[in-house]
Amino acid sequence: MRYDPEHKGRTRRSILSEAATAIRTKGPERIGVAEIMASSGLTHGGFYAHFKSKDDLVAQAITQMFDETFARFLSRTEGLTPSQAVAKYVDMYLSRSHRDSRGDGCALAALVGDLPRMSELARARFTEGVERLCSGFARLLKKLGAKNPDVLAYSVLAEMSGTLTLARAINDTQRSDQLLRSAREMVKARLPLAEST
């Protein structure tokens, strides 16, 4: 059977999407190549036409996860004033819906606990993704006149991803909701959101 020229690219994107979801929900050590391929409607044998190894798949899936995370960041912030954009992003990030959607949530919160045990390639892809997300956030903070916007962006994203991770781990929904509410207020209070949002 002959495939159109875009078939291999679509197949690869499908595999990466399945892998990204599985990594977010189960962790990178608990996913299997056969399972990912089956979820994509493919056989295990086709895996090596796209990836060198499971480590290669995981590393590329991390890039996919950060591509999705950054695309969500842009979609939530484009067309708004910097103050509105930052406030909206904080509200979205520290929301119940983000907490409850592990399969497509932020790569930062999903991966940070697993990174020390992962390959150097995976850690490099994670670092690249974090730097891109922080850079985008820092650009908004710079427009707001924040001092040291790069440092502040890392600090705020670390606080938010840590809060999201903790909110997901707490088995009491009311406490988890309260944690998210309090964190939204505290994060926004330390940002230079001078204009009305």
Looking up residue 178, the CATH number of its domain turns out to be 1.10.357.10
Indicate whether 40 belongs to any domain.
Answer: no
Indicate whether 139 belongs to any domain.
Answer: yes
Tell whether the torsion through CA atoms of 27, 30, 36 and 39 is positive or negative: negative
Which residues, 6 or more positions from 105, have their beta carbon under 8 angstroms from its beta carbon? 24, 98, 99, 164
Indicate whether 116 belongs to any domain.
Answer: yes
Q: What is the mean pLDDT of residues 133-162?
A: 96
pLDDT at residue 186 is higher than 80: yes
Cα atoms in the 13 Å half-sphere on the side-chain side of 153: 21
| Alpha-carbon separation of residue 126 from 54, 61, 87 (angstroms) | 16, 10, 25
pLDDT at 8: 77
pLDDT at 50: 87
Indicate whether 50 belongs to any domain.
Answer: no
Task: Provide the domain limits for residue 181.
Answer: 55-189
Q: What is the mean pLDDT of residues 71-100?
A: 96
Please state, rounded to an integer, the average pLDDT across all residues of the chain: 91
Indicate whether 10 belongs to any domain.
Answer: no
Neighbours of 195 (CB within 10 A): 11
pLDDT at 196: 40
Indicate whether 47 belongs to any domain.
Answer: no
Indicate whether 35 belongs to any domain.
Answer: no
- Integer Cα distance of 12 and 46 in angstroms: 10
Indicate whether 79 belongs to any domain.
Answer: yes
Number of domains in the chain: 1
93 near 181, Cβ under 8 Å?
Answer: no
The predicted-structure confidence for 89-128, as pLDDT tens digits, reads as follows 999 999 999 999 988 899 999 998 888 889 999 999 999 9
